[in-house]
């Protein structure tokens, strides 16, 4: 619970914007409240007065990440035609989205999956919930393509999403850690291969 009175929306957004930049570069565990307070133009005690704990700030930054990324990833996809055009658009904007959005580092959510894989507590639970919701959205868009006959009717949706998430994570590490200049090309090729394997089998003409 946030204590010590309410922050103005402008002040809260400023703190969360700076927090998102820090977490993008240093990860959730690398978030230091002293530097964040300084970047936000607040005292450390003032930051604590409004958020109560480091965990609460981390969770707020994760929520902010979702809202920040919507206009970069989800909203452009929703403007595309339902089915494969929408799924393609979503994947196109999702791959490397943090760099395209101007963040100084990588995706805080992807990094958090590795940072907190052996941890317990509310921040890990928040990440788990967010990842589950995202995979459900990917599954929904994929099913729409199946329902429209663009992908096989017997397609294993969970397997498709599993492979798609694998492509995203390999792309993220290749782009951010390995600095592979072919990361975008390989991710796009893998996605196209996945789609090709998932399309209905064409019947040969007699």
Give, as one character, the DSSP assignment of residue 82: T
| CA gap 121, 81 in Å, rounded | 40
Q: Do the domain assignments include residue 120?
A: yes
Confidence bin at 7 (pLDDT 50/70/90): low
Q: Do the domain assignments include residue 81?
A: yes
Q: Do the domain assignments include residue 117?
A: yes
**CA-wise closest residue to 107 among 84, 134, 88:** 134
- Decide: 142 and 161 in contact? Cβ < 8 Å: yes
E strand segments, 77-160: none
Quote the number of domains for the chain: 1
- Residue position matching structure tokens 């694998």: 166
Domain that holds residue 90: 55-198
- Decide: 200 and 153 in contact? Cβ < 8 Å: yes
- Decide: 155 and 141 in contact? Cβ < 8 Å: no
Q: Do the domain assignments include residue 64?
A: yes
Taking phi over 0 as left and psi of -120 to 50 as alpha, with beta for the rest, 202 belongs to: beta
| Percent of the chain clearing pLDDT 90 (strictly above) | 80
Confidence bin at 108 (pLDDT 50/70/90): very high
CATH number at residue 98: 1.10.357.10
Q: Do the domain assignments include residue 106?
A: yes
Q: Tokens representing 3?
A: 């204590």
Q: Tokens representing 143?
A: 């099913």
Which pTM does this prediction carry? 0.90
Q: Tokens representing 150?
A: 């663009």
Q: Do the domain assignments include residue 205?
A: no
Q: Kindly report, residue by residue over 22-81, the tens digit of the pLDDT.
A: 999 999 999 988 889 988 888 888 888 888 889 999 999 999 999 999 999 999 999 999
| CA gap 17, 13 in Å, rounded | 6
Q: Is the dihedral of CA 98, 104, 105, 110 positive or negative?
A: negative
Residue environment code for 25-47, b if the CB has 16+ CB neighbours within 10 A, otherwise e: ebbbeebebeebbeebebeeebb
């Amino acid at each position: 619970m946030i204590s010590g009175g309410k922050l103005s929306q402008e002040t809260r957004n400023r703190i969360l914007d700076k927090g998102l930049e820090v977490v993008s570069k240093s990860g959730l565990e690398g978030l230091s409240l002293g530097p964040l307070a300084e970047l936000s133009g607040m005292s450390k005690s003032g930051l604590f007065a409004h958020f109560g704990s480091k965990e609460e700030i981390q969770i707020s930054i994760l929520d902010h990440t979702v809202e920040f990324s919507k206009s970069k990833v989800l909203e452009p996809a929703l403007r595309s035609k339902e089915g494969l055009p929408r799924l393609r658009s979503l994947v196109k904007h999702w791959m490397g989205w943090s760099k395209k959005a101007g963040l100084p580092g990588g995706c805080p959510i992807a990094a958090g999956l590795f940072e907190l894989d052996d941890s317990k507590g509310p921040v890990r639970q928040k990440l788990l919930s967010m990842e589950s919701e995202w995979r459900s959205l990917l599954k929904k868009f994929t099913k729409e393509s199946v329902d429209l006959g663009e992908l096989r009717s017997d397609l294993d949706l969970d397997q498709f999403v599993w492979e798609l998430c694998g492509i995203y994570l390999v792309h993220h590490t290749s782009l951010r850690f390995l600095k592979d200049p072919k990361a975008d090309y390989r991710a796009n090729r893998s996605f196209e291969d996945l789609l090709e394997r998932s399309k209905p089998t064409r019947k040969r003409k007699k």
